């Protein structure tokens, strides 16, 4: 299996093989049926696209997910598992390949802290973050404490607001 998942060049078959046993339907942005499936498919649906399409998520929709191309295989598996369990999943953009990203991001955030920040901004709980990143809930709490300290925030809402003000998130 490929180390990273890409929609080009036949890699969609990888997503389909990963998702089919879990009962999750996969559609790529190049698929002409994408809009129809987003509107009418009654079960868990995963859209693999460079940007999250409008209208994917909504209060009356069944579980929906979005993932960008280039998502590591382990994250893809977790995303499919969460969809199969009934969660809607908005996956942050994939991190650059190991060895290509700097040790710290703007404002002194580590790459892992950036991942946690992205997931917090998407409304994920500590257990959901822990499961998706394959770390303990205690480790998530540690990263959150560091984020609160570094961004001078007292709670999650303030953390997200502060991160957006600093240009660390797109809201």
Position 95 in a domain: no
Characterize 132-163 residue by residue with b for buried, 16 or more Cβ atoms within 10 angstroms of its Cβ, and e for exposed: bbebeeebbeebbebbbebbebeeeeebbbbb
pTM above 0.95, yes or no: no
Q: How many domains does the chain have?
A: 2
Distance CA 24, CA 65 (A): 10
Residues 126 and 151 in one domain: yes
How far is it, in rounded angstroms, from Cα 32 to Cα 35? 7
Which pLDDT score, from 0 to 100, does residue 139 have? 94
Question: Closest Cα partner for 78 from 11, 9, 124, 32?
Answer: 124
What does the pLDDT read at residue 126?
95
118 with 47, same domain: the answer is: no
Distance CA 92, CA 84 (A): 19
In tens, the pLDDT along 2-16 reads 444 544 445 677 778
Q: How far apart are CA 29 and CA 33, in angstroms?
A: 9
Average confidence (pLDDT) over 20-29 = 80
Q: Which of the listed residues 41, 63, 90 is the one where a domain comes to its end?
A: 90
pLDDT at 153: 93
Instruction: Tell me: do 25 and 82 sit in the same domain.
Output: yes
Give the residue carrying structure tokens 């925030």.
Answer: 153
Q: Which of 90, 125, 146 is the last residue of a domain?
A: 90
As a whole number of angstroms, the distance between CA 171 and CA 163 comes to: 10
Question: How many other C-beta atoms can be found within 10 angstroms of the C-beta atom of residue 18?
Answer: 20
| Closest listed residue to residue 76, CA positions, set 143, 4, 22 | 4
> Rounded CA gap, 44 and 111, in Å?
30
Confidence of residue 123 (pLDDT cuts 50, 70, 90): confident
| Structural domain range at position 57 | 4-90
Is the pLDDT score of 65 beyond 90? no
Band of residue 136 on the pLDDT scale cut at 50, 70, 90: very high
Residue 17: phi, psi to the nearest 5?
-65, -35
């Amino acid at each position: 299996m490929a180390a990273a998942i890409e929609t080009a060049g036949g890699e969609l078959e990888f997503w389909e093989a990963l998702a089919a046993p879990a009962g999750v339907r996969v559609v790529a942005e190049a698929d002409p049926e994408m809009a129809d499936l987003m509107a009418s498919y009654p079960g868990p649906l995963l859209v693999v696209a460079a940007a999250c399409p409008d209208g994917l998520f909504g209060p009356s929709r069944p579980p929906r997910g979005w993932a960008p191309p280039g998502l590591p295989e382990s994250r893809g598996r977790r995303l499919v598992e969460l969809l199969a369990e009934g969660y809607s999943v908005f996956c942050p953009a994939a991190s650059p390949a190991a060895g290509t990203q700097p040790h710290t991001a703007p404002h002194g955030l580590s790459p892992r802290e950036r991942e946690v920040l992205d997931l917090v901004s998407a409304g994920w709980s500590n257990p959901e973050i822990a499961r998706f990143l394959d770390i303990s809930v205690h480790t998530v709490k540690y990263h959150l404490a560091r984020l609160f300290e570094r961004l001078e925030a007292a709670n999650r809402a303030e953390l997200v607001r502060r991160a957006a003000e600093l240009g660390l998130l797109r809201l």
